[in-house]
Chains A and B, each alone.
Chain A
């Protein structure tokens, strides 16, 4: 045991000290956090250059219907023919020309927008939405219903689906499928990525020991199985450390980033709201029923959905499946490393090992939509794919018997595979200039102890 610990310690210290490890560990969270924060940052960077749009209203009934915003101004042109405005669009400083024509059909005007550049989507939707609303109101009014405003205010509804997870003892907890899916994705991708990355590192480490001929010195002091286990456990601890740092740093950075952003957007929103309120007041629109504070509501939902996750189970499950899957795959990578003398020779031997991993990622992507479906179920039981697929299912809740079955199968498989791998490893690390193939390795497995 002490020797395994010595090997583990050496692997851990030499790897953690490497510059590449430090850079990877510290810079990746920046990247992850950027992935989380940047989309909302870019969304906040709306096009703020003022655009003015000319409107030729041939119906004559939509003047001043479309409200101005900070960056959209509308000028209604009555005295210039369409073609002239069209031709002189840029010279006269217009971004686009909107024409409103009457149609016979359903009292809906025909709208056309002319511009040199493809008009931005939010410009289009602003125009469409305001006209749509106006026309709807007008149509409603044409029915001459009494107290229409009151009825409209009364009718206005917003449906929000709250999703509540029932725990065994009947307790209710707010849940959020999107957040659960997000956690599932992150966990299983981390698993997949780390096993592949570290498996390769183990393989390289074994090849390095073999090539530098240090291995025979070492196995005269420690059994090959213990050397292999020490290396694998050493790298497993390196990975767990890296994952812990990644998660903590990413969450920290993302929180800071989001806070900074929301402060900024809140400020901007406030100003905008005040401006539009003023505008609406000017136009005499009743705003007593405008929805307010949606965002803070959603924030609460997010938090309570996060709280609804059984983090003890998820973290415990992650550590268990991570270690199980890691040990299982790392042992096979170590066996392959022992059989070759050069990293370029590993490709054909590594393929059968990575196939189940790739398969489990494919299952994960389709299984995440129905985490209790037969596909996800079976692959979360089969040991070679269960580390990734079970992690996908875990945040959605998994029956205990399935967890126990999958975990015990994983442990048994890990023991069997490690035993076989160590037999290959034991022979392989002392073998130079031999042809490496699965056939040859099968022979090594059957050598006496």
Chain B
């Protein structure tokens, strides 16, 4: 079941089309990666989901009904361009933002107490934001984003400004939220964290959705016809036996066990390839090569831009 469905969204600003017929479907309880180059239209889509702005065409469904004003209490948003009132005290500010998200004062106080203890920042309550470091302020920002326990969380570059230890803390927190059933839309340029966290992705480029799907499926689709073989034996034996059918793209003879990467014409040819090799060499391991999201991102975007005669900027 999808907690959020956006269908055929179009949004036009005075001189350009920010979103062109974009559709996404976010399954309940998943972490959904929203990827794309700068200026592709991700932030516009996120703002539409947050009702900061409205679509010109298309429809957004939230939890089965048309997105309504009250839904903001069930959505949490950590914008990329984020900040807090510099001169306001941490505690008062957190209380203010929590109440804006519909919590009562007492409930907000109770939950803030829990989070301040959990993050071990009780001593910050009476400090002003301007007295905190950027990372410390980010921590507060993250806390007030999730304080009202929304069903849908939208994180735009949540790890920026964090040191590795705090980034890990936030990552664990995100996984914990997922475990408790929260759906998360995750927008980032950090592809390794996409691989690590996301279940589904959508890649937006030039205002259009150019790639969508389950992340494993997407990765398989983009390269499962490449196989890596670790072997003992003579490389010439491989070359002479398979080169007529398959391309060898990577020949790594470093290390005790040499490896070779072979491109088959389809993912289903793994068995055939293996059969043709076994008589000539000893196969130590045989694996399909799954491309990284990083490679897929670059490949898909570049191919799309080339096909449509667009520049990559």
Contact = CB atoms under 8 A, between A and B. Distances in A.
Given A216-B82, A217-B83, A220-B79, A447 B13 contact: yes
Contact of A220 (B54, B56, B75, B86): B75
A220 B82 contact: no
A212 B14 contact: no
Contacts of B14: 443, 447
B97 interface: yes
Nearest to A219: B52
Interface string A267-295: 00000000000000000000000000000
A217 B97 contact: yes
B183 interface: no
Contacts of A10: 88, 96
A449 B99 CA distance: 26
A221 interface: yes
A124 interface: no
Interface string A214-243: 101111111110000000000000000000
Given A221-B101, A430-B52, A216 B81 contact: yes
Contacts of B81: 213, 216, 432
A217 B77 contact: yes
A315 interface: no
Contacts of A222: 72, 100
A399 B217 CA distance: 79
Contacts of A217: 77-79, 82-84, 97, 141, 144-145
A217 B96 CA distance: 12
B52 A6 contact: no
A106 interface: no
A212 B84 contact: yes
B16 to A, nearest CB: 13
A212 B50 contact: no
Interface in A417-435: 430, 432
Contacts of A81: none
Nearest to A3: B100
Given A3-B100, A10-B96, A220 B52 contact: yes
A221 B72 contact: yes
A14 interface: yes
A432 B80 CA distance: 13
Among B50, B75, B86, B99, find the residue whose CB has the most chain A CB atoms closer than 10 A.
B99
Interface in B1-42: 13-14
A352 interface: no
Contacts of A430: 47, 52
A60 interface: no
A221 B86 contact: no
Contacts of B52: 216, 219-220, 224, 430
Contact of B50 (A3, A209, A220): A220
Among B56, B84, B85, B86, find the residue whose CB has the most chain A CB atoms closer than 10 A.
B85
A448 B56 contact: yes
B179 interface: no
A128 to B, nearest CB: 65
B87 interface: yes
Nearest to B77: A220
A432 B83 CA distance: 15
A33 to B, nearest CB: 32
Given A214-B85, A216-B52, A221 B79 contact: no
B72 A212 contact: no
A7 B96 CA distance: 8
A227 B141 CA distance: 19
B87 A14 contact: yes
A367 B81 CA distance: 51
A123 to B, nearest CB: 60
Among A213, A214, A222, find the residue whose CB has the most chain B CB atoms closer than 10 A.
A214
Given A217-B145, A449-B54, 8 more contacts: A10-B96, A208-B85, A212-B85, A216-B79, A217-B144, A220-B77, A222-B72, A224-B52
11 contacts: A10-B96, A14-B85, A208-B86, A212-B84, A212-B85, A216-B52, A217-B84, A217-B97, A220-B79, A222-B72, A447-B14
Which are the 4 A-B pairs with shortest beta-carbon distances? Answer: A213-B83, A220-B77, A221-B100, A212-B83
Interface of B: 13-14, 47, 50, 52, 54, 56, 69, 72, 75, 77-79, 81-88, 96-97, 99-101, 141, 144-145
